[in-house]
Chains A and B, each alone.
Chain A
Amino acid sequence: MSEKSLSLTELNYRVRDAIRDHLPETYWLRAETSDVRPNRNGHCYLEFIEKDPAGQSIVAKARGVIWSGVFQMLSAYFEKETGQPFTSGLNVLVRVSVDFHELYGYSLTVADIDPSFTLGGIARQRQLVLKQLEEEGVLTLNKELTLPEPSNRIAVISSPTAAGYEDFRDQLLKNKPGLVFYTRLFPAVMQGERSEASIIAALEKIFHYRDLFDAVAIIRGGGATSDLSCFDSYGVAVHVAQFPLPVVSGIGHERDITVLDMVAHTRAKTPTAVAEFFINDTWKTFSDLIALQDRVVSASETIAMKEENLLFSLSKEVIHQSMRLLQKETAGMQQIMETMRHALKRHLLQQYHLMENREQFVRMISPGNVLRRGYTLTLKDGKIITSLQDLGVDDIIETRFRDGTSFSRVTGLHSSDNPPEKKQA
């Protein structure tokens, strides 16, 4: 009985020896990292896992370790090549040796890593997510949104303690042209496993208050590069793509473009660049306004000038026309005056001739002429006597001749009805 039983140590030694004998080499292993924990001593402990094709459940799992000397080299190399640190959730290709320790059990010791596999994996993963978004018809939805005018009420998704957030606010609120911005922080965890859910929760909250904002900024920056996988996740991407407000990304990743950058309305590299983007956009809004103002001024000046010119030429026309009218009238008047003068002259001449005739006639019938023709005038007391009635016998009468006056005494009076008897001679 005693030969047939083994202590646990003995058994574990046998397992160890069996593994050493049958798996003596190192192997290139494809697996996903999980629970990556560098410790104080610089060693890195982790889990390698494999999921089923649907990515739902874990179908294989092994503990792993990267000894400190190797880890320092490998992690620096990995980060340099992939632009992201060696963390959980990465699909990696690592060269491992298989170990078995009687106390700690089965584990894989990492000796080398091939970053290009991870890069390719990330790229493939991105392509898959993008393809899915495209098939669902949401890939470009956010890009198709028009940035409102102005876009100065900005919902910010960031870690509240990130230097990038402070940079963003500083840049935005102290902008040179003095444009006004309103920001509100919706805090989120920006790296690690909780980040995806945290960013989505922030987006949902902003969605609730969407009427108060013009745009969303998702920023992350400052410090070392870290896990970007949440920005490549389908969950964040599908929320951002369908978000009703334009989303501007600035996750401080120079190296490559994440899925978030692809679906966002605008991609900026850093939080500061996001701030610049909003400043430039609002500045453009402001400039457009100034351009409109200039157009109002110049167009109304043009009208005023045109009217002034019109008035000027109208007044010139008025003067011109009235001058002409005046001249015409003057000429007419002169004509009339001329005509009148002629008429008057003719009339006067006629009158003159008439007068002359009359004068002649008057002269002909004047007493002088009448006397000259043999008529006499009879006067009494200096008054002309025209009737016998005015005379009495013995009156002294004066008889005027052409060439003098005789005085006689009336000796008898006979009316024409009663002629005197013919005196005997």
Chain B
Amino acid sequence: MEKLTYNSAKKELEAIVLAIESGEMDVDLLTDKVKRASQLIAFCKEKLTRTEKELQKILDDIV
């Protein structure tokens, strides 16, 4: 699976939102889609609110 980035996650999330909002989503798919959407939201939120020590270290290590 492709590595998730903020951008790819947000794009996927927007696509899911539009699909759900179109009202044409199969109800059997809905649960899966909502589950996926929550995963993506959690991922994006974490990018904005949780410090990745590793990333700061990479920046600190620039010589």
List residues of A whose CB falls within 8 A of some B CB: 148-150, 152-153, 178-180, 182-184, 209, 212, 282, 285-286, 289, 292-293, 295-296, 299-300, 302-304, 306-307
**Minimum CB distance partner of A295 in chain B:** B17
Which residues of the other chain, B, contact A282 by a CB distance below 8 angstroms? 48
B1 at interface, CB cutoff 8 A: no
Which residues of the other chain, A, contact B55 by a CB distance below 8 angstroms? 153, 182
Which residues of the other chain, B, contact A180 by a CB distance below 8 angstroms? 47-52
Contacts A149-B7, A295-B17, A307-B27 given: A182-B49 contact, CB under 8 Å?
Answer: no
Q: How far is the CB of B57 from chain A (nearest CB, A)?
A: 10
Which residues of the other chain, B, contact A304 by a CB distance below 8 angstroms? 30
Which residues of the other chain, B, contact A150 by a CB distance below 8 angstroms? 6, 47-48
Which residues of the other chain, B, contact A182 by a CB distance below 8 angstroms? 51, 55-56, 59
A-B contact pairs, 23 of them (CB 8 A): A148-B7, A179-B48, A180-B47, A180-B49, A184-B59, A184-B62, A212-B58, A212-B59, A285-B48, A286-B49, A292-B13, A292-B14, A292-B41, A293-B37, A295-B20, A296-B13, A296-B16, A296-B37, A296-B38, A299-B17, A300-B34, A303-B23, A303-B30
List residues of B whose CB falls within 8 A of some A CB: 6-7, 10, 13-14, 16-17, 20-21, 23, 25, 27, 30, 33-34, 37-38, 41, 44-45, 47-52, 55-56, 58-60, 62
Q: Cα distance A152–B48 when bound, in Å?
A: 8
Which residues of the other chain, B, contact A292 by a CB distance below 8 angstroms? 10, 13-14, 17, 41
Contacts A184-B59, A303-B25 given: A289-B41 contact, CB under 8 Å?
Answer: yes
Which residues of the other chain, A, contact B38 by a CB distance below 8 angstroms? 296
Which residues of the other chain, A, contact B27 by a CB distance below 8 angstroms? 303, 307
Q: How far is the CB of B20 from chain A (nearest CB, A)?
A: 4
Q: How far is the CB of A41 from chain B (nearest CB, A)?
A: 45
Which residues of the other chain, A, contact B37 by a CB distance below 8 angstroms? 293, 296
Which residues of the other chain, A, contact B48 by a CB distance below 8 angstroms? 150, 152, 179-180, 282, 285-286, 289
Q: How far is the CB of A153 from chain B (nearest CB, A)?
A: 7
Q: Cα distance A149–B30 when bound, in Å?
A: 27
* Given A184-B59, A184-B62, A282-B48, 9 extra CB contacts under 8 A: A150-B6, A152-B48, A286-B45, A289-B44, A292-B13, A300-B20, A303-B20, A303-B25, A307-B27
A212 in contact with B17 (CB, 8 Å):
no
**Minimum CB distance partner of B36 in chain A:** A296
